[in-house]
Chains A and B, each alone.
Chain A
Amino acid sequence: MPLLLTGIFLTFLTSWIGLVAMPYLQIGRYKPEIDEVTKESLPPAFSGEADQGAVVYASNGCIYCHSQQVRPLEAGSDLERGWGARRTVARDYMYDKVAYFGTMRTGPDLSNIGARQPSLEWHYQHLYQPQVVSPGSIMPPYRFLFVKRRIVGQPANDAVKLLPPDQPEPGYEVVPTAEARSLVQYLTSLKRSSYPLPEAPEETPAK
């Protein structure tokens, strides 16, 4: 029995050291890079609202269709699809509270969706009516993140401009909830590999 337990313990310990302790030592203690020219701190930190948006992202399980990791040229066609200027590296995630790398691409990678689709309007439309905004998409609609209400006085500033056939009837407007607003803030701040970092030079896919 002592041999058995020791063996069971030690085999496990080696993997703990390798896959838990070593990653902490190697990729868990980053400091941001300060760009020499613009003096901005890279990667940029998330705003408070974007951080809340990340929680909405988790709460609705976006990772089960979307990834957030851009693979290098030799490992996939991510760069050739325009999903980033370069691969993502560990430092790009240093300000995330929880990492949402994802393991499925039923939908496209979102690491740089903020750079590809900077318009808040587009995101609200897309969350409300994905099949209209992207014909052929199987993304589910997230209408429960919005409220349809009667217009009182002036229409709200952030009322969503929807496309037919989902436009509200006259006198009604569709407004995003606080959850939708923070989620869209989070999505539009996803520009993980849109700035250079010394450890990750930009790669141009060969044409």
Chain B
Amino acid sequence: MSSAVTDAPSKPSLIDSISPSSVEPVEDKAERAEIDRAMRGVVLLFYGAAIAWLLIGSLFALIASLKFNIPGFVADTAAMTFGRIRPAHLNAVIYGWAAQAAIGTGLWLMARLCRVSVRHGGILYVAWALYNFGVTLGILGILSGAGTSVEYLEFPRWASVVVFAAFALIAIWTVIMFRFRKPGHVYVTQWYILAAFFWFPWLYATANLIIFYLPVQAAVQGPVNWWFGHNVLGLFFTPIGVGAAYYLIPKVIGRPVHSYYLSILGFWSLAFFYSWNGMHHLIGGPFPAWLISASIVASFMMVIPVITTGINHHFTMKGHFGALRWSPTLRFTVFGAMCYTVASLQGSSMAIRSWNQITHFTHYTIGHAHIGMYGFFTMVMFGAMYYIVPRLVEWEWPSATLIRWHFWLCAVGISVMFCALSVAGLVQGFALNDPTIPFLASTRFTLAFLWMRSVAGLMMTAGHVVFAASFALILLKAGSRRQRPTLFAAPEESAA
């Protein structure tokens, strides 16, 4: 590295030096700042849209949840009937919030790690507009009755085509960025993101084509539907969440990943096994037995990448758990990483046939879905946003209080939701499996827990509103401009 002690070329004025005694080579900081500045528009657009959809999706969720306990609630409007609001919620939070948070985070991480500035960034603005147009069309389509009732693929054809086109642009651009990266080692996060952006368009196109365009017999749609549905979680969201955690945790505490070798093992075992899991959604269904058994086996083999990642994160964090006190990013990300382990191990257990007999078709599955997509993925995305947005806007989050409220409302909310739905599901499942218990009783047993779920959802929604407020405030550069941006200051104690 150059000795920048004697010659101090013009530093980027917006970023202060941290401790006056140490001298930083300008190249690294300047390069980072330049890349951040180049990514600013695109990432903030994706994040802003994501947060807007999060609020909309949360509202849909509350309406849907209340309908369980009050069946007549806004039931007379066709657009608000449960069968439309529920898929509208799912698609708004998956394609509106989660996918855009993933795209924004993935793009920024790729740019950072490839150390290239945006080339032909205009494509991404077009992709953003196209994507949100497609999602809006899709949600409106569902509410107006054009939904397909194929899970995770409810958008009518004219909307999914637009979404696909937008995503293809993003994927192509990511591969190009990767191709033009600065030479040097390719960090594990880049593998995950490259893989995720490569896999998703292929998944989306194949599933849409086979189910909606080709005249396949209906029974084939089951495996294809769940090959897609599970892979959206496992080969798109999980890699981005895990990849982000592999970058954020070490960067925040300033310590490299505990065992890099394990992370490589984790990546390849995830790539190979995860894609075979899909049929565990259809255990007991009218499908070839070998296929279902293969998925059960694959669901078990998932223990390998999950434990690997869990060990890695835990040992990286070991001795540094005190950092959870002073880093918002770390708090969200570590919570998310722990939920990843819980959700995945729970998922493996749910593939056991005798356990599946009880939990299939119940709220237990819904609880599992939420601890995965929310407890893990959404919380890690919050963590990523807390890290990335200040670097883009070159300003600090205006209020620690808002951050604290955001975290606790969401963390407590998802924990309550998970417990309520799991218990509800088990009660429901045991009742369903006993043919002497009349069917209606199985639903009746769940009602009190579903009220709890609505309350939990209210807390989480409140957390989202708080976060949206923080986001708006930092974009407006509210709050006092501090002398030294504390983002880049070292805490008094070097490690707890």
Residues of A bordering B, CB below 8 Å: 1, 4-5, 7-9, 11-12, 14-16, 18-20, 22-24, 26-30, 57-65, 67, 69, 71-72, 75-77, 80-81, 87-108, 130-131, 134-144, 205
With A1-B178, A140-B71, A143-B75 known as contacts, the answer to whether A99 contacts B222 (CB < 8 A) is yes
Tell whether, in the assembled complex, residue B361 and residue A104 are in contact, meaning their CB atoms are under 8 Å apart: yes
Tell whether, in the assembled complex, residue B83 and residue A71 are in contact, meaning their CB atoms are under 8 Å apart: no
Q: In the assembled complex, how far is the CB of residue B301 from the closest CB belonging to chain A, in whole angstroms? A: 13
**Interchain Cβ contacts under 8 Å between A and B, 6 examples:** A23-B220, A24-B216, A108-B439, A130-B71, A131-B71, A136-B440
The range of chain B's interface size is 35 or more
Q: In the assembled complex, how far is the CB of residue B414 from the closest CB belonging to chain A, in whole angstroms? A: 20
Tell whether, in the assembled complex, residue B285 and residue A101 are in contact, meaning their CB atoms are under 8 Å apart: yes
Q: Which of B188-218 contact A (CB under 8 A)?
A: 191, 194-195, 198-199, 202, 206, 210-211, 216-218
Tell whether, in the assembled complex, residue A140 and residue B82 are in contact, meaning their CB atoms are under 8 Å apart: yes
Q: Would you call B126 an interface residue if the criterion is a C-beta within 8 Å of the partner chain's C-beta atoms? A: no
Tell whether, in the assembled complex, residue B83 and residue A91 are in contact, meaning their CB atoms are under 8 Å apart: no
Q: Would you call B27 an interface residue if the criterion is a C-beta within 8 Å of the partner chain's C-beta atoms? A: no
Given A23-B291, A61-B84, 10 extra CB contacts under 8 A? A1-B186, A14-B275, A19-B224, A20-B210, A23-B222, A28-B216, A28-B217, A65-B82, A99-B218, A141-B75
Tell whether, in the assembled complex, residue A91 and residue B275 are in contact, meaning their CB atoms are under 8 Å apart: no
Complex: chain A residue closest to B292, CB-CB = A75
Contacts of A88 in B (CB 8 A): 285-286
Contact with A along B426-467 (1 / 0, CB 8 A): 000000111100011011100100000000000000000000
Tell whether, in the assembled complex, residue A58 and residue B275 are in contact, meaning their CB atoms are under 8 Å apart: no
CA distance A64 to B223 in the complex (A): 18
Tell whether, in the assembled complex, residue B81 and residue A19 are in contact, meaning their CB atoms are under 8 Å apart: no
CA distance A176 to B360 in the complex (A): 34
With A64-B86, A76-B357 known as contacts, the answer to whether A57 contacts B432 (CB < 8 A) is no
Contacts of B69 in A (CB 8 A): 138
With A58-B149, A71-B285, A138-B443 known as contacts, the answer to whether A27 contacts B357 (CB < 8 A) is no
Contacts of B122 in A (CB 8 A): none
Tell whether, in the assembled complex, residue A19 and residue B276 are in contact, meaning their CB atoms are under 8 Å apart: yes
Q: Which of A11, A65, A134 contacts B440 (CB 8 A)?
A: A134
With A8-B194, A57-B149, A65-B82 known as contacts, the answer to whether A75 contacts B218 (CB < 8 A) is no
Q: Would you call B288 an interface residue if the criterion is a C-beta within 8 Å of the partner chain's C-beta atoms? A: yes
Q: Which stretch (B28-36, B37-45, B140-148, B337-345) binds chain A?
A: B140-148
Contacts of B78 in A (CB 8 A): 60, 144
Can you list the 5 inter-chain pairs with the closest CB atoms, starting with the nearest? A61-B83, A15-B275, A90-B219, A75-B284, A99-B218
Tell whether, in the assembled complex, residue A15 and residue B227 are in contact, meaning their CB atoms are under 8 Å apart: yes
Complex: chain B residue closest to A78, CB-CB = B284
Tell whether, in the assembled complex, residue A100 and residue B444 are in contact, meaning their CB atoms are under 8 Å apart: no
With A1-B186, A97-B218 known as contacts, the answer to whether A138 contacts B284 (CB < 8 A) is no
Q: Which of A58, A77, A100 contacts B433 (CB 8 A)?
A: A77
Q: Would you call B281 an interface residue if the criterion is a C-beta within 8 Å of the partner chain's C-beta atoms? A: yes
With A75-B357, A106-B443, A140-B82 known as contacts, the answer to whether A99 contacts B221 (CB < 8 A) is yes
Complex: chain A residue closest to B216, CB-CB = A28
Complex: chain A residue closest to B145, CB-CB = A59
Tell whether, in the assembled complex, residue B72 and residue A140 are in contact, meaning their CB atoms are under 8 Å apart: yes
CA distance A136 to B77 in the complex (A): 22
Contacts of B67 in A (CB 8 A): 140
Q: Which of B186, B275, B278 contacts A12 (CB 8 A)?
A: B275
Q: Would you call B283 an interface residue if the criterion is a C-beta within 8 Å of the partner chain's C-beta atoms? A: yes
Q: In the assembled complex, how far is the CB of residue A177 from the closest CB belonging to chain B, in whole angstroms? A: 11
Which of B86, B179, B199, B222 has the largest number of chain A CB atoms within 10 A?
A: B222
With A19-B276, A81-B439, A93-B217 known as contacts, the answer to whether A12 contacts B202 (CB < 8 A) is yes
Q: In the assembled complex, how far is the CB of residue B428 from the closest CB belonging to chain A, in whole angstroms? A: 8
Tell whether, in the assembled complex, residue A18 and residue B294 are in contact, meaning their CB atoms are under 8 Å apart: yes
CA distance A55 to B376 in the complex (A): 35
Tell whether, in the assembled complex, residue B194 and residue A4 are in contact, meaning their CB atoms are under 8 Å apart: yes
Contacts of B223 in A (CB 8 A): 19-20, 23
CA distance A151 to B417 in the complex (A): 49
Complex: chain A residue closest to B68, CB-CB = A138
Q: Would you call B333 an interface residue if the criterion is a C-beta within 8 Å of the partner chain's C-beta atoms? A: no
Tell whether, in the assembled complex, residue A141 and residue B206 are in contact, meaning their CB atoms are under 8 Å apart: no
Q: Would you call B316 an interface residue if the criterion is a C-beta within 8 Å of the partner chain's C-beta atoms? A: no
Complex: chain B residue closest to A91, CB-CB = B219
With A4-B194, A28-B219, A103-B281 known as contacts, the answer to whether A93 contacts B365 (CB < 8 A) is no
With A19-B278, A61-B149, A99-B218 known as contacts, the answer to whether A75 contacts B443 (CB < 8 A) is no
Contacts of A94 in B (CB 8 A): 217-219
Complex: chain A residue closest to B207, CB-CB = A20
Q: In the assembled complex, how far is the CB of residue A112 from the closest CB belonging to chain B, in whole angstroms? A: 13
Q: Which of B145, B195, B286, B357 contacts A69 (CB 8 A)?
A: B286
Contacts of A9 in B (CB 8 A): 198
